[in-house]
Amino acid sequence: MRILVLGSGAREHAIVTALLRESEHHQITAAPGNAGIAGVVPVVGLDPTRNDIVTQYAIDNDIELVVIGPEAPLVAGVADSLRKRGIAVFGPGKAAAALEGSKTFAKRIMDDAGVPTGRALRAGTLEDAVAAIDEYGAPYVVKADGLAAGKGVLVTDDRDAAIAHASFWLGHGAVLVEEFLAGQEVSLFLLSDGQSVLPLSPAQDYKRALDNDEGPNTGGMGAYSPLPWLPDGFVDEVIETIALPTIRQLATEGTPFIGLLYCGLILTDNGIRVIEFNARFGDPETQVVLPRLVTPLSGLLFAAATGQLGGLPRPEFSSDVAVTVVLASAGYPDDPITGRPITGLADVTDVTIAHAATALVRGEFVATGGRVLSVVATAPDFAAARAKVYAALDIIQLEGGHYRTDIAKRVAE
């Protein structure tokens, strides 16, 4: 199949790796990709958020399936533009992508569909935000309404910090103040063709920058899959009470969700609650979910893109587990220092590297952003997978680079 993968992160590198593993016959191109992706498939330097440019490229190159990795092209309507020209695309149109692009929209859909989520108040002024902050009390949860690249959410016991966060994001739009939900977090990905869904294997992401869940929220510092501690029937319950009602609500409104429904969940004492939806594969969870996928990925994505998921069996996963740890630049997430060389990548064994923010400069990899790469390992158990990942991270050197040392630690013990 001729496949175009849009995006430039470790998630897209993991998607490309999974497609290549499944068949040597795919012709895969990534746009714009990164230095790691460019090492395995051709990349083209086009702006993935430009509807016209992406669509023309797909037409000119007889692309049979476009896989949209990040949220920005979705929210920009790239999927709509491609679909209008009859090109199969894995990724929702602009209207359905608002499930991720607007937290207010997501809450409204959840309310209408009867999906369990925390209480939330939308504030358009600082006065309303402060009132909501005081109504729910500590710990305070304050979120930017729109896309904020992982920086829009603050969870804190510090009332002044909560107010300052609200004040900052009110400069960009509305904010949501939410009830704090306590419990383990789960990321569950569901493939959707607009009517039917198929679940992938659950994963857990580590959102905070530092060990023991300290430090600021980030885009994600590591992940593991599966989650052996989940109660029986968890996936079925999410499908019945969360995913299908959400998909049906969007279909009823004439905005079918075709792509990946990312359910960000908290397992509270009172049951499963949605903390967020995303309209795309999660990063870094994809790096641990796809290496375990046994069913060919392209077939699943194409079936979702063309309305043919109904009746397909659930995707199969290996019994091996997977762990990934993200190497971040000094200063990430606040103010990453970039341009520094990364060494040792050629010397690691028994792991795969998913590049995120790297470039090749005179034959040498350099870090070009905050989250630089993900080191991924699979193994029969978590202790073995962790050992492989951390052995590789001992070899990979990036001045000032940092990573969490406790990814999947609890589950390995």
Q: Which residue ranges make up the site for ligand GLY (CB under 6 A)?
A: 205, 220, 278, 282-283, 285
Beta bridge partners of 381: none
User: What's the rounded Cα separation, in Å, for the pair 129 and 159?
Assistant: 11
Q: Which CB atom, from 101 or from 220, has the smaller least distance to ligand GLY? A: 220
100 belongs to the binding site for ligand AMP (CB under 6 A) = no
Q: CA 115, 148, 372, 383 torsion: positive or negative?
A: negative
C-alpha distance from residue 353 to each of 42, 78, 150, 280 (Å) = 18, 28, 22, 21
Nearest position to ligand GLY, beta carbon = 282
Q: How far is the CB of 150 from ligand AMP (least distance, A)?
A: 7
Look at residue 217 and give the partner it binds from ligand AMP, ligand GLY, none, a contact being a CB closer than 5 to 8 Å depending on partner kind: ligand AMP
Position 142 contacts ligand AMP (CB under 6 A): no
The backbone torsions φ and ψ at residue 406, rounded to the nearest 5 degrees and listed phi first, read -115, 20
Q: What is the DSSP letter of 224?
A: E
Binding mask 224-263 for ligand AMP (x = CB under 6 A): ----------------------------------------
Q: Which residue type is seen at 124?
A: G
276 binds ligand AMP (CB under 6 A): yes
Q: What is the DSSP string of 199-216?
A: E---BEE--EEEGGGEEE
Distances from the Cα of 110 to the Cα of 123, 194, 221, 272, 409, angstroms: 18, 16, 28, 13, 34
Q: Does 94 bind ligand AMP (CB under 6 A)?
A: no
Tell whether residue 153 is a contact of ligand AMP (CB under 6 A). Answer: yes
- Which listed residue (101, 194, 259, 264) binds ligand AMP by CB under 6 A? 264
Residue among 185, 320, 350, 406 that touches ligand AMP (CB under 6 A)? 185
- AA letter at 132: A
Task: Give the integer Cα–Cα distance in Å for 322 and 386.
Answer: 9
Nearer to ligand GLY among residue 146 and residue 220 (C-beta): 220
Report the alpha-carbon distance of residue 315 to residue 263 in Å, rounded: 17
Query: Is residue 107 near ligand AMP by the rule CB under 6 A?
Result: no
From the list ligand GLY, ligand AMP, none, partner contacted by residue 283 (C-beta under 5 to 8 A by kind): ligand GLY
Among 48, 118, 259, 315, the residue binding ligand AMP under the rule CB under 6 A is 118
**Contact of residue 80 among ligand GLY, ligand AMP, none (CB under 5-8 Å per partner type):** none
Question: How many Å separate Cα 107 from the centre of its chain?
Answer: 19
The binder of 203, among ligand AMP, ligand GLY, none, by C-beta within 5 to 8 A per type, is none
Q: How far apart are CA 83 and CA 257, in angstroms?
A: 13
Residue in 65, 132, 133, 181 binding ligand AMP, rule: CB under 6 A: 181
Minimum CB separation from ligand GLY for residue 137, in Å? 27
Select the binding partner of residue 275 from ligand AMP, ligand GLY, none (C-beta < 5 to 8 A, by kind).
ligand AMP
- For position 166 contacting ligand AMP by CB under 6 A, the verdict is no
If you ran DSSP here, which 8-state letter would residue 43 be given?
B
Q: Which residue has the tokens 């079925």?
A: 236
16: tokens are 């490309």
Q: Which two tokens stand for residue 340?
A: 């520094």
CB-based contacts of 96, cutoff 8 Å, min separation 6: 250, 255, 256, 257, 258, 259, 279
Binding at 211: pick from ligand GLY, ligand AMP, none (beta carbon under 5-8 Å per type): none
- The CA distances from residue 81 to 39, 151, 193, 281, in Å, are 29, 29, 17, 20
* C-alpha span between 89 and 110 (Å, rounded): 25
The helix or strand, by DSSP H or E, that contains position 194, with its residue range, turns out to be: none
Q: Is residue 274 a contact point for ligand AMP (CB under 6 A)?
A: no
What are the residues whose beta carbons fall under 8 Å from the beta carbon of 388, sequence distance 6 or more? Answer: 350, 351, 377, 379
CB of 205 to ligand AMP, least distance (A): 7
Nearer to ligand AMP, 102 or 196 (CB): 102
Q: Does 12 bind ligand AMP (CB under 6 A)?
A: no
Instruction: Choose the one of ligand GLY, ligand AMP, none that binds residue 278, judging by a C-beta under 5 to 8 angstroms depending on kind.
Output: ligand GLY
Name the segment binding ligand AMP (CB under 6 A); options: 40-48, 57-65, 129-137, 175-183: 175-183
Among 155, 197, 242, 272, binds ligand AMP (CB under 6 A): 155
Enumerate binding residues for ligand AMP (CB under 6 A).
118, 141, 143, 153, 155, 178-181, 185, 207, 217, 264, 275-276
